[in-house]
Amino acid sequence: MFSRDDPPDTGHPGEDYNYRCKAVPYMPGETEFASHEFTSGFPRSSVRWVDLDFVFHYYFCGGRAVTLDEIGYLRGIVEQ
């Protein structure tokens, strides 16, 4: 972190050759990082499809659409 008026020897972020950093303004109280664990209200599924379930569905279910909730992956994807 440095002042805009006093850049490092390599110049401002993104100015040096092959340098991919970018300038992000710092505002005390607004840009500090914090951690937060997000959780959803979706219940954890007791049945989660494995590879053979997907193969069986592909060959024997005639193209019927399935939802992420049906195959047990909705909560994991929402929380990710």
CB 36 within 8 A of CB 27: no
Question: Residue 45: is its pLDDT beyond 90?
Answer: no
Q: What is the DSSP string of 26-46?
A: --TTTS---------SPPPPS
**Choice between 59 and 5, residue whose per-residue pLDDT is larger:** 59
In this predicted structure, which of 20-24, 48-52, 62-66 has the lowest mean pLDDT?
A: 20-24
Q: pLDDT digit string (tens) for 26-38?
A: 777 766 666 666 6
Global model pTM greater than 0.85: no
Neighbours of 28 (CB within 10 A): 6
What residues contact 23, with CB distance under 8 A and at least 6 apart?
A: 4, 12, 13, 14
Q: What pLDDT, on a 0 to 100 scale, did the predictor assign at position 26?
A: 75
